[in-house]
Every structure is written in structure tokens, then in C-alpha cells.
């Protein structure tokens, strides 16, 4: 089993997309990239701790590559928006890859370089590459929130469209 950690806006929608991939064993939403230790949702929402809302993905590298995780990461958020995704504003909503080792860092750097050189996005990518120092699981009510609350308005209008886009663009590669 391997781990990858990504931030791409509100963690509810990010988690919902990664859970669709075969080879993903489990996901956890939480906070990383800031101080102090063990922040709460309320702490992170002050935009003063430096933490990002993130998703930790446990996956089987024999079934799912880190490259494929990155492909889904890029496809399902706007990596050109600084410290925001849509109407969610603040550093906690930044686009970031929290690399666990030098190999993840190298692959991520190469992917960013390739996307920028190909001008895949109109604006430059502002996704940060940050070493994963610690990951603090979010409160239980945030875990698997989209699946447990499919009719909640934020899920209907923000998270579910991300899942729908993923299903449209990667249908042959998703869990049935």
C-alpha cells in the first residue's frame, strides 16, 4: 500500500473523486501543511494556521499509479486559482501536492512542467509542492461526507459535478 496527499479546495469533493478509482483502498480527509499540531476545522477556517483541507489516499500501486492519481487531481480542480477553488476562499483551499518522498516530488514537478509547457491551462499553475510533515484527520463528521450527505446543497452543486466530470472523462477506469 502507498499513500498520496492532495489539497484541491474543499476536501469533501476531493475525497469523493478519489474514492471512484479502482486501486484506492481508503481515503481520509484532514489538515496538513500548517501549524499548530492537531488543528480543528474551526482553527483551519480562520485561515491563520497555514493548514490546507487535504485528502490522504491509501492506494495499491500495483493497481493504480501515482501518475494516474495526479491525472485525476489535475482534471478535477483549477490549479491556476491561488488560495481558492470557486467560491471557497482562503489558504486552506489552496491547490497543493504534499509529497511523501523524493519520487513523488520528482513526478509531480515533471507533471507541472509538462502541463505548463503544453499550455493545458490558460493561466500558469500555482499548485504548491510541499513536503508532507504531518496529517491530522478531520473530525468524524467530515469523513466520507459527500457519500453520507448526497442531497446537501454544497455536495449537489459543487462536489457531485466533480464526480460527474470524472465519470465522464475516466469512465473506463473507474470502479463499477
Q: Catalytic positions, please?
A: 10
Name beta bridge partners: 53: 31
Check if the beta carbon of residue 27 is closer than 8 Å to that of residue 61: no
Q: Give long-range contacts, CB 8 A cutoff, 24+ apart: 40-47.
A: 40/139, 41/138, 41/139, 41/142, 44/92, 45/90, 45/92, 47/90, 47/91, 47/92
Q: Which three cell numbers stand for residue 110?
A: 515533471
H or E stretch at 30: strand 24-32
- Residues 38 and 41: their CA atoms lie apart, in Å, by 10
54, 5 in Cβ contact below 8 A? yes
Amino acid at each position: 500500500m502507498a499513500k498520496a496527499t492532495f489539497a484541491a479546495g474543499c476536501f469533501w469533493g476531493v475525497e469523493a473523486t478519489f474514492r471512484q478509482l479502482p486501486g484506492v483502498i481508503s481515503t481520509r480527509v484532514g489538515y496538513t501543511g500548517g501549524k499548530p499540531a492537531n488543528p480543528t476545522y474551526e482553527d483551519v477556517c480562520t485561515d491563520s494556521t497555514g493548514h490546507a483541507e487535504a485528502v490522504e489516499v491509501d492506494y495499491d500501486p500495483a493497481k493504480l499509479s501515482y501518475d494516474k492519481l495526479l491525472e485525476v487531481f489535475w482534471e478535477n480542480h483549477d490549479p491556476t486559482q491561488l488560495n481558492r477553488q470557486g467560491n471557497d476562499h482562503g489558504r486552506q483551499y489552496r491547490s497543493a501536492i504534499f509529497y511523501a518522498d523524493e519520487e513523488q516530488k520528482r513526478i509531480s514537478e515533471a507533471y507541472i512542467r509538462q502541463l505548463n509547457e503544453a499550455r493545458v491551462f490558460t493561466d500558469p499553475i500555482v499548485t504548491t509542492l510541499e513536503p508532507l510533515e504531518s496529517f491530522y484527520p478531520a473530525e468524524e463528521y467530515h469523513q466520507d461526507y459527500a457519500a453520507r450527505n448526497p442531497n446537501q446543497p454544497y455536495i449537489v452543486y459543487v462536489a457531485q459535478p466533480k464526480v460527474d466530470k470524472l465519470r465522464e472523462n475516466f469512465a473506463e477506469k473507474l470502479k463499477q
